[in-house]
């Protein structure tokens, strides 16, 4: 699947960057192949615009924020670094330094604005009117849990690859053999799966290696422990992993696999723990999960990011019984595409513009109208 060629993904919220990254001015990002710029507006809220000035197309991310008098500041309107044209969060040009103060600015002078909101310490962006809410993370506001912002980093792979890997129990003994994988147990535990409107819930218990350096993380001292894993998938590219150790320690990971373009994604990862800094230092937890994610990153970046989604395409990729969660992800993505009149776009059929069933029907109707008129 080539994610930038599937219009429906533009209608979801995507985690783009921590709000702290915007504290010192505008930042660029590429979302689903679209170059955008993010900044903090005068009211302290994140905003997102197309990263092009409508004057001479310079990147707005080369500029800075200004206040109502046009002075540089930490938050406000965004001023182009080329000629100083200044935009509000709606994308409208509100100041042109070369104009007299009382001269009106044409309403046509504007750039595209995208929906942008602050949630869970991140700026989230939807390129079009969103059709689903941002997944809920109740632990973020729960005093019984601490929040640890772990990662936001670029990977040379696709969200589909990262998603199916995050539900794949059969790679632990191989990819994670140096961390928590148990080499003597290559056969994966079976998931109990329950589908729902936003995706599915998957629950299982696995064996996990527990060396001395991990004792504070698990809260137990056994060489081999267990992880009660409650895993959930949310359309299109998010998941929640709730790991419970026998000690009662909960290690809850939230991932958003944000699509940058057809060969790259951004991993966003939050961690929630029901223990304290005295029990287990946050840096140890970051280092622990970083080591594990490095193992995943290394193998996933060796895969083809154009992952098969429509399983009716035979002979492209083969599966086994333990791949069932990944097959359910494909099922839900295909249902989403079909609901919005789309088919999977991949390298084999990506030449030329994408014609969805909705667009095709409109073209047929237009053709009929043209034939009637000419008759």
Is 121's pLDDT higher than 50? yes
Is 372's pLDDT higher than 60? no
Is 185's pLDDT higher than 90? no
Which pLDDT does position 10 carry in this prediction?
98
Task: Give residue-wise pLDDT tens across range 307-366.
Answer: 999 999 988 899 989 899 999 999 999 999 999 999 999 999 986 444 443 444 444 444
Q: What is the mean pLDDT of the chain?
A: 91
On whether the CB atoms of residues 327 and 336 are closer than 8 A, the answer is: no
Q: Give the 3-state DSSP-derived string for the chain, with helices as H, strands as E and coil as C.
A: CCHHHCHHHHHCCEEEEEHHHHCCCCEEEEECCEEEEEEECCCCCEEEEECCCCCCCCCHHHCEEECCCCCEECCCEEECCCCCCEECCCCEEEECCCCCCCCCCCCCCECCEEEEEEECCEEEEECCCCCCCCCCCHHHHCCCCEEEEEEEEEECCCHHHHHHHHCCHHHHHHHCCCCCCCCCCCCCCCCEEEEECCEEEEEEEEEEECCHHHHHHHCCCCCEEEEEEEEEEECCCEEEEEEECCCCCEEEEEEEEEECCCCCEEEEEEEEECCCCCCCCHHHHHHHHHHHHHHHHHHHCCCCCCCCCCCCCCCCCCCCHHHHHHHHHHHHHHHHHHHCCCCCCCHHHCCCCCCCHHHHHHHHHHHHHHHHHHC
pTM of the model: 0.90
Q: Would you place residue 373 in the very low, low, confident or very high pLDDT band (cuts 50, 70, 90)? A: very low
Q: What percent of the chain clears pLDDT 90, i.e. is strictly above it?
A: 81
| C-alpha–C-alpha distance, residues 263 and 249, integer Å | 36
Can you list the domains of the chain with their CATH numbers?
24-114 (2.102.10.10), 138-338 (3.90.380.10)
Nearest to 16 by CA among 41, 43, 46: 46
Task: Give residue-wise pLDDT tens across range 54-78.
Answer: 999 999 999 999 998 888 888 899 9
Structure tokens at 30: 């590429």
| C-alpha–C-alpha distance, residues 146 and 162, integer Å | 25
Which pLDDT does position 186 carry in this prediction?
77
| C-alpha–C-alpha distance, residues 199 and 326, integer Å | 11
Task: Give residue-wise pLDDT tens across range 127-138.
Answer: 999 999 999 999
Which pLDDT does position 134 carry in this prediction?
96
- The better pLDDT of the pair 43, 188 is held by 43
Task: Give residue-wise pLDDT tens across range 16-68.
Answer: 999 999 999 999 999 999 999 999 999 999 999 999 999 999 999 999 999 98
Region of 316 on the Ramachandran plot (φ > 0 left; ψ -120 to 50 alpha; else beta): alpha
Count CB neighbours of 335 within 10 A: 11
Which pLDDT does position 375 carry in this prediction?
36
| C-alpha–C-alpha distance, residues 191 and 200, integer Å | 11
């Amino acid at each position: 699947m080539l994610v930038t060629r599937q219009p429906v993904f533009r209608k979801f919220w995507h985690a783009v960057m921590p709000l702290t990254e915007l504290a010192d001015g505008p930042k660029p990002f590429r979302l689903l192949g679209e170059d955008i710029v993010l900044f903090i507006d005068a009211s302290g809220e994140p905003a997102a615009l197309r990263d092009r000035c409508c004057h001479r197309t310079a990147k707005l991310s080369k500029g800075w924020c200004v206040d109502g008098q046009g002075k540089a500041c930490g938050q406000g309107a965004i001023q182009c670094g080329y000629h100083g044209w200044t935009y509000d969060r709606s994308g409208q040009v509100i100041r042109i330094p070369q104009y007299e103060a009382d001269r009106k600015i044409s309403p046509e002078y504007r750039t595209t604005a995208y929906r942008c909101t602050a949630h869970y310490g991140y700026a989230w962006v939807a390129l079009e009117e969103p059709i689903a809410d941002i997944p809920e993370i109740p632990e973020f506001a729960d005093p019984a849990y601490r929040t640890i912002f772990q990662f936001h980093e670029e990977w040379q792979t696709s969200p589909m690859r990262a998603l199916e890997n995050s539900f794949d129990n059969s790679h632990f003994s191989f990819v994670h053999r140096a961390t928590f994988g148990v080499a003597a147990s290559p056969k994966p535990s079976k998931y109990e799966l329950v589908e729902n409107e936003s995706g599915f819930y998957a629950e299982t218990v696995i064996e996990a290696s527990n060396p001395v350096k991990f004792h504070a993380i698990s809260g137990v001292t056994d060489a081999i422990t267990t992880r009660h894993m409650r895993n959930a998938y949310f359309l299109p590219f998010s998941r929640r992993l709730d790991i419970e150790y026998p000690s009662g320690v909960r290690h809850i990971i939230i991932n958003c696999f944000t699509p940058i373009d057809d060969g790259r994604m951004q991993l966003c990862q939050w961690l929630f723990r029901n223990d304290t800094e005295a029990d287990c230092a946050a840096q140890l937890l970051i280092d622990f999960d970083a080591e594990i994610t490095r193992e995943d990153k290394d193998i996933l970046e060796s895969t083809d990011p154009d992952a098969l989604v429509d399983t009716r395409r035979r002979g492209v990729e083969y599966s086994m019984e333990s791949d069932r969660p990944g097959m359910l992800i494909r099922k839900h993505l295909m249902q989403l595409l079909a609901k919005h009149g789309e088919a999977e776009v991949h390298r084999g059929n990506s030449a030329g513009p994408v014609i969805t069933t909705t667009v095709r029907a409109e073209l047929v109707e237009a053709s009929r109208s043209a034939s009637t008129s000419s008759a």
